A and B are shown apart, each in its own frame.
Chain A
Amino acid sequence: MLDKNQVQLIESDVESARITLENLSHELVDHICCEVEEQMGNGKSFEEAYTLIKKETGILVLQKIQENTLYLIDKNYARMKTTLKITGNVSLALLGMGTVLKIFHWPGASPALLLGFVLLCFIFFPSAIYLNHKEFKAKGRTALNVSILIGGIVLMIGILFKVMHWPGASFLLFTGWSIVVGVFLPVLLFVKIREVSTTKEKVVYVLGVIALMIFEAATMFKMFHWPGATFLMVIGAELLMCFFLPMYTFIRLRESGKITGQFIFIITTSMYAIALTVLLSFATSSNVIGHFVNGASNSAKILSYFEKKNKQWTVSDSLHTKTDTLVLSIAEEADKVHQLIVSIKLNLVQTVDQVDEPTARMCISNPDQIVASSNYDAGNIVLLGSGGNGLATALKQALENFRKKAVQASSSNPGLSKNIETFLSTSPVQNETGSNTWEEANFRNKLLIGTIVNLSTIEKNVRIVETLTIEDIQHKTNSPKTL
């Protein structure tokens, strides 16, 4: 007969298989005890007997029995398991296909992504959580499962909205992230601490979850362009990679003595995930944004050159043109475009960064000072608005007014007027998504910093045309004298 300690050893081994059905776990303990007792009856010691029996009753065998039992007694379980397998594969295939279509700008990307996302978040994810809930039990598991269910779904919908550029993405992402960081991770910490016995393991799990919380919060900060994101991300990633992972590896190795495939998988994927996230977020800020910032400052230099050059025609000591109404009216139209572009830029910067006007003006001349330079929504809201009431339409109007004046002034020079027509064209643009209005093609779903550069380019073109036109007029007025 087994003594209390021996039964407890078997009980704790069965417990590690996490059997949710209470009677079943009692039965399995009793059954294993009986078999061990039988072997001991043949003259074996407890250790010998239990080692022998353990070979046939490993954790996986016990879990398989529970799975078979659940299959028989819970119709939902069987149905969900099938659903899980099918939707998991289908949604993965759809998302993969959607991404490829999107990269190559082929049609059908949006429906594939949308369907994949819907399957993933409304069918696969809830059934996976349901099954997990049925298979494993522990104190606080319900709170854990409910919080990750709600938080995860909201977060996934948020990502979908972000990818599709639908309004409300920020709110969804913020809510989802808050639930994950504020509810799920603390509960996870609580559950993990209860599950492990030694202080060392407790420290490792506390460290891991806190590092994860910092890292998740950093990702959220980055996404919403709140200050301090980089600092948090470095701290979180350092904690995860330099402290949690080595300590966790050490404990797991000591515990089992051998490395399982699952363990290798977890370590490698988490390393990759962290490294990729960090690299991507830094790459975005340094390379991509840097490229745009360079573009913006180059445009600004060229612009100021032409502005200076054009000024000389309209200041008082330029005798010939002071009274030339044609030149003055062209300069006037060009200035209108300039004013409008400056106000649009101010509007954009103030929309994303919530700063006062002087700061916004400073940001426009130093675009690397714009905090939310990778924002996508502001351009849509400010320039396109809803139903064509955005500032882009006014800009188009101002550009057309200027173009008309310039073409009119250079009518005696067909080459120049034709060039002006193409240079300042505002006609619809053909691209991979079909025919788009000038406003849509230039300002729909563009990075904020890209839009700023784009506006500077338009202004630059206006100034160049202004110079060419005025020089042309100048040339005609002056030529009789030189002859």
Chain B
Amino acid sequence: MASNDLLKGMLKPIILKLLLEKGPMYGYEITQLVKEISGGDIELTFGALYPILHKLEQEGTVKTESEIINNRNRIYYSVTKKGNSTAKEKIAELEEMIKTLGIFFKPNFGLKYGYAG
């Protein structure tokens, strides 16, 4: 299971990627999907999820729609037109980061000759 500290900065792009691909989703759905995709390795708690969703909404990246389902209000989140490019940027940023990080964990940092240190 991934630790919360490591996840912190990556949650925004992960949530945005899911919203971009799957369309409107509500909070519980997002946590379940993250769990499913990661095979249970990443557990997105609702305590971490909702503050980020509200922050994204405030920035204008996502918008909300309320619908009454099973006797209660359900809030659906979807990426706005304006947020589309921001979302793609953030996702690309994370992908770049993962690539860079990958280098660090190759044997000998992927360098052909030993690190001249």
A30 touches B54 (CB 8 A): no
A28 to B26, alpha carbons, bound, how many Å?
11
B47 touches A65 (CB 8 A): yes
B3 at the interface (CB under 8 A from A): no
A23-B64, A65-B46, A73-B58 known; A30 vs B51 contact (CB < 8 Å):
no
Main DSSP-derived SS at the B contact region = helix
B55 touches A72 (CB 8 A): yes
* Contacting residue for A68 out of B47, B58, B64, B66, CB 8 A: B47
A69-B51, A72-B54 known; A30 vs B72 contact (CB < 8 Å):
yes
* Contacting residue for A2 out of B26, B28, B70, B75, CB 8 A: B70
| Stretch among A31-39, A185-193, A358-366, A389-397 lining the B interface | A31-39
Cβ–Cβ < 8 Å partners of A65 in chain B: 46-47, 50-51
A3-B71, A65-B50 known; A30 vs B26 contact (CB < 8 Å):
yes
B73 at the interface (CB under 8 A from A): yes
A475 at the interface (CB under 8 A from B): no
A69 to B47, alpha carbons, bound, how many Å?
9
B74 at the interface (CB under 8 A from A): yes
Cβ–Cβ < 8 Å partners of B26 in chain A: 27, 30
* Contacting residue for A7 out of B27, B46, B70, CB 8 A: B70
A24 at the interface (CB under 8 A from B): yes
A71 at the interface (CB under 8 A from B): yes
Cβ–Cβ < 8 Å partners of B71 in chain A: 2-4, 7
B10 at the interface (CB under 8 A from A): no
A24 touches B54 (CB 8 A): yes
A27-B75, A30-B75 known; A1 vs B50 contact (CB < 8 Å):
no
B51 touches A68 (CB 8 A): yes
Which of A10-43 touch B at CB < 8 Å? 11, 21, 23-24, 26-31, 33-35
Interface string of B42-81 (1 = CB under 8 A from A): 0000110011111100100000101000111111000000
B46 touches A33 (CB 8 A): no
Residue of B nearest to A61 (CB): B47
A28 touches B28 (CB 8 A): no
A34-B28, A73-B55 known; A24 vs B72 contact (CB < 8 Å):
no
A30-B27, A34-B28 known; A21 vs B54 contact (CB < 8 Å):
yes
A320 at the interface (CB under 8 A from B): no
A72 touches B51 (CB 8 A): yes
Cβ–Cβ < 8 Å partners of A11 in chain B: 72
Cβ–Cβ < 8 Å partners of A27 in chain B: 26-27, 50, 53, 75
Minimum distance in angstroms from B24 CB to a CB of chain A: 14
A64 at the interface (CB under 8 A from B): yes
B50 touches A26 (CB 8 A): no
A57 to B47, alpha carbons, bound, how many Å?
9
B28 touches A30 (CB 8 A): yes
A24 to B75, alpha carbons, bound, how many Å?
9
A-B contact pairs, 11 of them (CB 8 A): A1-B70, A2-B70, A4-B71, A11-B72, A24-B54, A26-B73, A27-B27, A28-B50, A33-B72, A69-B50, A72-B52
Taking A7-B72, A30-B73 as known contacts, 6 extra A-B pairs with beta carbons closer than 8 A to each other, sorted by chain A number, are: A27-B50, A64-B47, A65-B46, A65-B50, A68-B51, A69-B55
